[in-house]
Amino acid sequence: MTKRILLGVSGGIAAYKIPILVRLLKKAEMDVHVIMTKAAQHFVTSMTLATLSGNRVWDSMWDDDHTPSVAHISLADKADLAVVAPATANVIAKLASGIADDMLTTVLVAARCPVLLCPSMNVNMYNNLIVQRNLRDLRQMGYHILDPDSGFLACGWTGQGRLPEPEAIYEAITYLLAPKDLTGLTILVTAGPTEEPLDPVRFITNRSSGKMGVAIARRAAMRGAKVVLVAGPLKVAPPTGVKVISVRTAQDMLEKVTSYFPSTDIVIKAAAVADFRPSQPWSSKIPKDELGAALHLTKNQDILGALGSSKGAHQVVIGFAAETADAIERAGKKLKNKNADMMVVNDVGLPGAGFDSDTNIVSFLFPSGEVEHHEMMTKDAVADLILDRAKALRQAKRG
């Protein structure tokens, strides 16, 4: 179901970032309705935001013929979430005092949906005792506050007051919109490749970026789970709100996963773990002419198999099978041999399903022999589907 977002823009220089935020929201198929203060229009135009959002931009309580409108009520009633970015000291003060003297503040006073404020201002203004009191009062009233970043400010000062980047605001929005249906569950996710050292400068690895595992961890946290992410070297930033355990080798990952496993309800093993490691890594760089003779490999312990063989009655273990041929058949053997509850199967040779892609094409394979095939979708969407199935499997085990 499409989410309807009210996006309030007030008069701060950081308003220049808002067109990017609108693009991110529209890309996620959200219905964005922008409300601007008069001051905001000095920094970004209503035409820009109307074009990007595909909706009228509201900037007045009055229609063009100067007749009063009740749009502030209909906008408030239909919203799933209201966001103010940037939220200036003036707007923050008005909301804390219940003042409704323009379209933005009037809509917010009428809103019954969650409200996210993204303060942005000079560091001295932000640290002003009145501003801080107003923010504390708003938090106590149930408003959500995304703290500003620190750094060089447009006014020339350095300190806290920068509007977070659009991607961070978007993530806060998606967190607030996500159902909290995984609250009370502990989910362990593995992500990324492992690196098996041959000598101090060479190692064996694979093409995994960690995007899929990171997406699962992020969406699980947004849906209320307590998340532990055990990750090899990632090509993407780990999500906020999760406990991140960084590892390098398959042995490192095995040790960390094994230590957290007893207190875990669901394990989703999305990491691409190296199957083999050099038998005896060299302490110094191997001369090139000796490299072939030095390359002796030893098989790493199967982490998914170890978890499947030791899982409790109510624990759910989900694995990944990245294949390039006979994907379902090979994944079926892995599912049985590793005693997993579900395998996520993807043919990494397909366009849009390979490593480092923002999309994936997956099938879900169950011990009953049932197979679910899915079309190409974003990795966030795949993550939610996996979590949906994991939740159902967990509920089935608990009766």
Structural domains of the chain sorted by starting position, each given as residue range(s) with its CATH number in brackets? 4-177 (3.40.50.1950), 186-398 (3.40.50.10300)
**Mean pLDDT across 209-213:** 95
Instruction: Choose among 141, 68, 75, 140: nearest CA to 108.
Output: 75
Active site annotation includes 118: no
Q: Is the pLDDT of residue 140 over 80?
A: yes
**Percent of the chain whose predicted confidence (pLDDT) is above 90:** 84
Q: What is the pLDDT of residue 215?
A: 96
**What letter does residue 348 receive in the DSSP assignment?**
T
- Return the structure tokens found at 131: 């501003």
* Cβ atoms 318, 392 nearer than 8 A: no
Question: Which of 47, 155, 201, 295 is an active site residue?
Answer: 155
Q: What is the pLDDT of residue 68?
A: 52
Give the chain's radius of gyration (CA, Å).
25
pLDDT digits (tens, 9 = 90+) for 53-111: 999 999 888 766 555 556 778 898 999 999 999 999 999 999 999 999 999 999 999 99
* Cβ atoms 333, 345 nearer than 8 A: no
CA–CA distance from 125 to each of 131, 151, 257 (Å)? 7, 15, 46
Q: What is the pLDDT of residue 70?
A: 66
**Mean pLDDT across 210-233:** 97
* Cβ atoms 318, 386 nearer than 8 A: yes
Q: Whole-angstrom Cα distance, residue 272 to residue 206?
A: 7
**What are all long-range contacts of 90-93, with beta carbons under 8 Å and residues at least 24 apart?**
90/10, 90/11, 91/8, 91/10, 91/37, 92/117, 92/119, 92/131, 92/134, 92/135, 92/138, 93/130, 93/131, 93/134
pLDDT digits (tens, 9 = 90+) for 231-253: 999 999 999 889 999 999 999 99
Q: Is the pLDDT of residue 42 over 90?
A: yes
136-140, 244-248, 292-296: least confidently modelled range:
292-296
Per the rule left: phi > 0, alpha: psi between -120 and 50, beta: everything else, 100 is beta
The model's pTM is 0.84
